[in-house]
Amino acid sequence: MNPSLIRLTERVWVYPYEQERDRPNLGYVRGDRLSLAVDAGHSDAHIAEYHAALKAEGLPLPDITVLTHWHWDHTFAMHRVHGLTLANGRTDRHLRAFRKKLACEGVEAFLSMHETIRREYAGNRPVVVTPADIVFSGGIDIDLGGCPVRAFEVESPHTDDGTFVQVPGEGVLFIGDANSGAFPTWQRDATKAKKLADTIRTLDARIVVEGHWTPTTTEDVVNDLLEG
């Protein structure tokens, strides 16, 4: 049985992460005119389940999907999302480069990267990499109708293309995997971690949604980053 959406605030929900297939949390923000998703999901099966959960709650499918970074578990269902996809320039370049790599090396090279990828793509599920529809630099403000959202680039120990998605009126901040170490060693650069902690402190968020963990508080995320 697929999980249900978890409502965090009046306007914000999350479709919960799953460890077995390394599926991240997928966010959802409902404005009066438009709705927005945070991250596109791992595969067509993942995004189909997310869409089904939205429909079960009577929520419209997202008009916009914002990517927190380029990694496959957050982006490789972009070809199946509803509406437009939005990414920073680095994220888009990474996706385009990986698409070329996939074309040269074949799908098996991707599947062999980690056992969770094999589980997600079991049964010869297609692997499709697409670039973003809209590319931004620095930051971008989006008015969903009575619900402003800001997406902006951050420096992180996880990747060089991190994006935060902040919903100020709801006190929610989506950070993707920004507070994790770099794949595949998971080692975390202490200088970058401290800088990220300082950034998060300034954002006045009551709820922080990480990529692969239960929504938590700013204090918990900052403390974890500073612990090394």
For the cut 90, the answer to whether the pLDDT of residue 3 exceeds it is: no
Q: What is the pLDDT of residue 224?
A: 95
Alpha-carbon gap, residue 42 to 120, rounded angstroms: 7
What is the tens place of the pLDDT at every residue in 77-112?
Answer: 999 999 999 999 999 999 999 999 999 999 999 999
Burial class (CB in 10 A: 0-12, 13-18, 19+), 174: buried
What is the distance of C-alpha 26 from the center of its chain?
A: 6
Average pLDDT over every residue of 148-168: 97
Q: What is the pLDDT of residue 228?
A: 63
72-to-50, 110, 145, 160 alpha-carbon distances in Å: 16, 10, 31, 15
Classify residue 25: in a domain, yes or no: yes
Pair 202, 192: CB distance under 8 Å: no
Classify residue 56: in a domain, yes or no: yes
Pair 107, 98: CB distance under 8 Å: no
Residue 136 pLDDT grade (very low, low, confident, very high; cuts 50, 70, 90):
very high
What is the tens place of the pLDDT at every residue in 35-82?
Answer: 999 999 999 999 999 999 999 999 999 999 999 999 999 999 999 999
Alpha-carbon gap, residue 182 to 169, rounded angstroms: 31
Instruction: Determine how many CB atoms are found less than 10 A away from the CB of residue 54.
Output: 22
Classify residue 31: in a domain, yes or no: yes
What is the tens place of the pLDDT at every residue in 178-210?
Answer: 999 998 888 999 999 999 999 999 998 999 999
Instruction: Return mean pLDDT, the chain.
Output: 96
Classify residue 1: in a domain, yes or no: no
Pair 188, 200: CB distance under 8 Å: no
Residue 71 DSSP code: -
Classify residue 57: in a domain, yes or no: yes
What is the distance of C-alpha 138 from the center of its chain?
A: 17
Alpha-carbon gap, residue 11 to 37, rounded angstroms: 12
Average pLDDT over every residue of 152-180: 97
| CATH code of residue 121 | 3.60.15.10
Classify residue 46: in a domain, yes or no: yes
Residue 212 pLDDT grade (very low, low, confident, very high; cuts 50, 70, 90):
very high
Alpha-carbon gap, residue 167 to 175, rounded angstroms: 12
Residue 106: domain span? 6-227
What is the percent of the chain with per-residue pLDDT over 90, rounded to a whole number?
95
For the cut 80, the answer to whether the pLDDT of residue 1 exceeds it is: no
Classify residue 88: in a domain, yes or no: yes
Classify residue 124: in a domain, yes or no: yes
The closest alpha carbon to 95, from 131, 43, 67, belongs to: 131
Q: What's the structural domain count of the chain? A: 1
Average pLDDT over every residue of 134-141: 98
> 138: alpha, beta or left, given left = phi > 0 and alpha = psi -120 to 50?
left
